[in-house]
Amino acid sequence: MTRLAILISGTGTNMQAIIDACERKEVPAQVTVVISDKPDAPGLERAKKHRIPAVVFEPKDFPSKDAYELEIVKELQKKRIDLVCLAGYMRIVGPTLLSPFKGRMINIHPALLPSFPGLHAQQQAFDYGVTITGATVHFVDDGVDTGPIIVQSAVPVKEDDTVESLSARILAEEHRIYPKAIKWFAEGKLTIEGRKVKLR
């Protein structure tokens, strides 16, 4: 069984989708630990409901970002984590956290990258006036939302959409493709070749 860590900052709906997919045995993995950088992240409660260990590390309790990330790395190594899943973790991952998990850390982004990287991707897409946006699961590299893409899903923008209705439609796709990407990883089907992810 592939051992997953999920990093969150908020409600953790993607985390919930991953937990559910694992519990339904659709994904040959188990969520071994949930880590939040916010003590009041509602996702922590969700983790507890599923009896998944939930840990909080607050950057303000550490002298530097390096020190903060090193503590996370220790936790991940202690739990023998195979794959780190960012799920609404609202920080840029630094080299201290990334290096030990390069090729083993993935993220979900609510847009069809490389369009609309960074914060508020749904709002960015809405304001730009695209008629198609979507969601992307990708390996994390040292850029912001620039890593090799595992899977994407296209979502239409409708005439009467608000940012909220559009975001909800994208979120439904996120919940579908994130577990799928984790399944492929857990089954050993993914290899990174340069910028590309091969699925076999």
- Using CB under 8 A as the criterion, which residues of the chain lie in contact with its own copies when the complex forms? 112-116, 127-132, 134, 148-154, 159, 194-199
**Distances 87 to 14, 19, 66 between C-alpha atoms, Å:** 6, 12, 21
The smaller minimum CB distance to its own copies, of residues 40 and 193, is found at 193
As measured in angstroms, the least distance from the Cβ of 177 to its own copies is: 10
As measured in angstroms, the least distance from the Cβ of 188 to its own copies is: 16
| Contact residues for 168 (Cβ-Cβ < 8 A; gap 6+) | none
- Residue whose C-alpha is closest to residue 46's, from 87, 79, 104: 87
The smaller minimum CB distance to its own copies, of residues 30 and 153, is found at 153
As measured in angstroms, the least distance from the Cβ of 12 to its own copies is: 25
The smaller minimum CB distance to its own copies, of residues 96 and 153, is found at 153
Contact 9, 41 (CB under 8 A): yes
Catalytic residue among 50, 109, 120, 175: 109
The smaller minimum CB distance to its own copies, of residues 16 and 133, is found at 133
Contact 46, 40 (CB under 8 A): no
Which segments within 17-139 are labelled E, that is strand? Answer: 29-36, 54-56, 83-86, 105-109, 132-139
As measured in angstroms, the least distance from the Cβ of 133 to its own copies is: 9
Query: Does the active-site annotation cover 109?
Result: yes
Q: Running DSSP on this structure, what letter comes out for residue 148?
A: P
Q: CA-to-CA distance for 139 and 130, rounded, in angstroms?
A: 25
- Residue whose C-alpha is closest to residue 19's, from 30, 28, 8: 30
| Contact residues for 71 (Cβ-Cβ < 8 A; gap 6+) | 57, 62
As measured in angstroms, the least distance from the Cβ of 112 to its own copies is: 6
The smaller minimum CB distance to its own copies, of residues 14 and 124, is found at 124
Catalytic residue numbers, as ranges = 109
